[in-house]
Structure formats: C-alpha cells, structure tokens
C-alpha cells in the first residue's frame, strides 16, 4: 500500500477550490503521495458474493482508520472500509459460518475493548458490543458458541470473559432490512427528512421485533466454585530450605485453601436454598390437599416419592 484511501473532506474541498482558481494542477496530474510501509496487524480471508476469495487487512500509523479489502489479482486494495476511529487499533478479526448456507458473521475487535459484529458483510449496519475496560480491555478473542450462534463470547486483556446471549435470527433480519422499502416517495425526500424517516422506521421495526432469549437453566451454569483454582505446594525437602520462604508458601496455601472452602460453602448454601424452596412448595401442596374435600385429598402414601430413602 502506498496511499491511504481515507480523505479529509474539509481538506479535499479546500483543494477543489484551489484547483478552480488555478492554484493547483488537476487532480489526475498530482504526484502520488508515498508513505512508508507500516506493519500489517490482521489479515482475514473470506468468500465474496461471487464465491471468490478476498481478504481484509488492517494496518497502523497513517494507514489506520480503514480496513482494506484486497484481492490476490489486484496490486492495490479494492476498497477501504472506515472503522470506528483512527485512534483505535484492530486487534483481531474472525469470520464465522452459521447453520444457514452462505450466512456469515464477522467480528472486528479493537484495543479499546469494543467488538463490532457485521452480518453478511453489510458494513452499513454494525452491532457494537462493549463491556471490557476501555484502557486495559484489549480484545483477544471473540467467538460464537456453535453454528446456531445463540451465544457470543468475548475475552480481553482485562482478564474477563463475557458471555452474551444472541438472537441471530432477529439480528440477521434487521441487518437485511431496508427501512425505506415501504415508504412512498422516499427517494424524493430531502436528505435530512430521508435520514429522519429512516431512523423512525428502524425504531418502529425494533419495537415490533424484539430479540427473543430463551431462559437459561441455572443448573448448567458455572459457578465460582467450578472456576476456583487450588494451589497445591509441595513440602520443602532440602535441609537448608529457607524457613521464611516456607512460611510465605504456607501462608499462600492457607489463603487459597480458605478461599476454596469459602466458595464450596457458597455452593452448598445455594443447594440448601433450593432444598428449602422445595420444602416450602411441598408444605403448600400438603396444606392445599388437607383443605380439599376428603375424596380429593392426596394420601400420605402418595407423597412418598422414594420410600426406599424416606
């Protein structure tokens, strides 16, 4: 790459006026500005609509601010795609094939903790996901759980992993939506009114097509105790082992063991709370049965679900 494709509009307008006054040569006669090569940060190959392999790259320095769509058959980038800001750097890009043929989900990760999701290479509509720290949350990975893409996971240098529920069907439909398709005379509206109508139609669509997230079973979730790490330090065997260092190791071991036991106790308390809830429900059912007519009452034998233990 020799020249950034991104142009400052104010600067370009100034140059156009200078050309009209004859102060600058015609644009096609201007010498090309040569920039020193800069490192390529990310490369992402993908299939375009024609099934041909292209690749998207990101760079830094003067070339930052755009993603460049390139082809092995062309010497220069095919086009430039503006990113959210020239002040951030792209850290990672991934493309995912879903369970539907030809459907692609692209993630663009940034060093400020932001992740952009692009559906079917529709760069006009991007979903921004930002939960990681803006200073220490440089995104290191962003993946979908499976082909159905009902969960989306992000990891960052802030040491956190976020799991997001994702309604792929709703997101794909909105990405493919033309909000002005059913607006009569939309093409003849002034630019400001057209944009305002577009925003109104998108809001209306979002209100009428809410994302659907199925309930999550708490029993399948990981709790703190499942993620706890226990330090197991070996006993010092050498005669000249430093007593002070050994004391520090023992202190670390005790602290970690106390932490592990505390997490285990929390897990036990959670189970106890579930048992108390079941007992309360049982008591309510038993009282309701006792108040019913005699021929509708449940006998005590019917309450014995597992007589081998109770």
Q: pLDDT for 71-88, tens place per residue?
A: 988 888 898 998 888 789
Do residues 51 and 16 both lie within one domain? yes
**Residue 255 located in a structural domain:** yes
* pLDDT value, residue 138: 92
**Residue 261 located in a structural domain:** yes
Instruction: Please state the rounded mean pLDDT for residues 176-189.
Output: 85
Q: How many domains does the chain fold into?
A: 4
195 or 29, higher pLDDT: 195
Q: Would the pLDDT of 174 be above 90?
A: no
Give residue 290's domain range.
226-303
Q: How confident is the model at residue 114 (pLDDT cuts 50, 70, 90)?
A: very high
**Residue 220 located in a structural domain:** no
Q: Is 78 helix (H, G, I), strand (E, B) or coil?
A: coil
Nearest Cα to 303, choosing from 295, 292, 289?
Answer: 289
**Residue 221 located in a structural domain:** no
212-221, long-range: CB < 8 A, 24+ apart: 212/167, 212/170, 213/165, 213/167, 214/150, 216/165
Instruction: Please state the rounded mean pLDDT for residues 123-131.
Output: 87
> 215, 243, 273: which is the final residue of a domain?
215
Do residues 202 and 254 both lie within one domain? no
Instruction: Please state the rounded mean pLDDT for residues 171-175.
Output: 86
> 32, 58, 82: which is the final residue of a domain?
82
Residues 6+ away with beta carbon under 8 Å from 267: 223, 224, 225
d(CA 310, CA 300): 12
Do residues 257 and 292 both lie within one domain? yes
Q: What angle do CA 271, 273, 278 make, to 5 degrees?
A: 95
Instruction: Please state the rounded mean pLDDT for residues 301-309.
Output: 67
Q: Would the pLDDT of 64 be above 50?
A: yes
Do residues 2 and 78 both lie within one domain? yes
**Residue 38 located in a structural domain:** yes
**Residue 310 located in a structural domain:** no
Q: Would the pLDDT of 209 be above 90?
A: no
C-beta of residue 207 within 8 angstroms of C-beta of residue 253: no
Query: Which region among 33-42, 211-220, 269-278 has the lowest average model confidence (pLDDT)?
Result: 211-220
* pLDDT value, residue 198: 87
Do residues 137 and 192 both lie within one domain? no
Q: Would the pLDDT of 168 be above 70?
A: yes
> 33, 49, 82: which is the final residue of a domain?
82
Do residues 202 and 157 both lie within one domain? no
């Amino acid at each position: 790459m020799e020249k950034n494709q991104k142009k400052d509009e104010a600067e370009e307008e100034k140059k156009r006026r200078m050309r009209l006054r004859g102060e600058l040569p015609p644009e096609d006669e201007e010498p090309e500005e040569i920039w020193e090569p800069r490192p390529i940060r990310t490369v992402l190959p993908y299939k375009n609509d024609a099934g041909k392999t292209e690749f998207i790259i990101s760079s830094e320095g003067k070339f930052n601010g755009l993603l460049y769509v390139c082809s092995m058959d062309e010497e220069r980038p095919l086009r430039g795609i503006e990113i959210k800001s020239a002040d951030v750097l792209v850290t990672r890009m991934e493309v995912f094939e879903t369970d539907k043929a030809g459907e692609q989900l692209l993630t663009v990760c940034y060093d400020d903790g932001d992740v952009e999701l692009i559906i079917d290479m529709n760069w006009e509509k991007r979903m921004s996901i930002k939960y990681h720290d803006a200073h220490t949350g440089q995104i290191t990975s962003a993946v979908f759980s499976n082909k159905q893409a009902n969960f989306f996971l992000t990891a960052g240098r802030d040491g956190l992993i976020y799991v997001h529920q994702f309604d792929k069907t709703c997101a794909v439909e909105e990405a493919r939506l033309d909000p002005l398709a059913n607006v009569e005379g939309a093409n003849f509206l002034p630019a400001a009114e057209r944009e305002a109508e577009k925003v109104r139609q998108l809001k209306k669509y979002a209100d009428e097509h809410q994302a659907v997230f199925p309930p999550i079973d708490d029993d399948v979730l990981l709790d703190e105790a499942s993620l706890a790490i226990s330090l197991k330090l070996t006993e010092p065997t050498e005669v000249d082992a430093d007593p002070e260092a050994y004391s520090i190791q023992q202190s670390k071991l005790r602290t970690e063991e106390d932490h592990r036991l505390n997490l285990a106790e929390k897990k036990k308390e959670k189970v106890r709370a579930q048992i108390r809830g079941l007992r309360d429900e049982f008591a309510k059912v038993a009282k309701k049965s006792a108040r019913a007519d005699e021929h509708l009452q449940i006998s005590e034998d019917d309450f014995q679900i597992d007589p081998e233990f109770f």
